[in-house]
Amino acid sequence: MEQIRRWHIYPTVDELEAYAARAVLRAAAQAIEERGRFRVVLAGGNTPQRIYGRLRAVRADWERWHVYFGDERCLPAGDALRNDRMARDVWLDHVPIPPAQIHAIPAELGAREAARRYAATLAPVERFDFVLLGLGEDGHTASLFPDHPGGNGADVVAVRDAPKPPPERVSLTAARLGRARQVMFVVSGTQKRRAVAAWRRGDPVPAATVTLPAGVDILLDTTAWPDPFV
């Protein structure tokens, strides 16, 4: 399926983060009203950190939130460089989401075993309500990297030799990430310009493989938007 994309450009990263936090909260309120719970997939890396920090400060129906992760780095549980550690430190450990509803990827078990177990965790989840993703300088998203196996229709893939350390990771596949009501990318920084330009050109970057019939939303600040004269 051809990816339908909506580009949203913000003058500052602050405005991008504020909008992204509001979008998550809006999706949560709607999901909880319609289905009694909110199933969200979190992005790793640095860009979402301050978005999560904003969510820490608000009142929400936290007991109805179910948190999943788009990918995880194969590091020991609790390691400071893990994506779940980041999200817990800035947000999840400070709001009353029931611990059993925070579904970390057991990446400490190694990529293959963690992928197997997380696929079982995701099996009962027909569709996510909201998927938050970042974009790497090479166009990767989650831990789906160029020239790496994308998982061939599986839900979760073991990743080795990732160009972004650590080399071993676990990632939801594009197919699984796209089984959602809403997918939002957050992109900031001049170092992302080339990847955004390639994406806009229609190059097959991994971020372009996460498709949704309703289309995906890409939030960028002006630093990440390619100079029209590049």
Binding interface with ligand 6PG (CB under 6 A)? 43-47, 71, 73, 83, 134-136, 140-143, 164
At closest approach, how far in Å is the CB of 166 from ligand 6PG? 9
At closest approach, how far in Å is the CB of 47 from ligand 6PG? 3
Task: Please report where in the chains the tokens 């179910």 appear, as a residue.
Answer: 66
Considering beta carbons, is residue 64 or 136 the nearer one to ligand 6PG?
136
Alpha-helical runs (H) found in the chain:
13-35, 49-56, 83-90, 111-122, 174-177, 193-201
Cβ contact 208:3 at 8 Å: yes
CA distance 12 to 226: 15
Considering beta carbons, is residue 83 or 209 the nearer one to ligand 6PG?
83
At closest approach, how far in Å is the CB of 50 from ligand 6PG? 11
Considering beta carbons, is residue 72 or 129 the nearer one to ligand 6PG?
72
CA distance 72 to 188: 21
Structure token pair of residue 218: 């890409």
At closest approach, how far in Å is the CB of 85 from ligand 6PG? 11
Considering beta carbons, is residue 71 or 217 the nearer one to ligand 6PG?
71
Cβ contact 68:103 at 8 Å: yes
Considering beta carbons, is residue 134 or 226 the nearer one to ligand 6PG?
134
Cβ contact 160:21 at 8 Å: no
At closest approach, how far in Å is the CB of 45 from ligand 6PG? 3
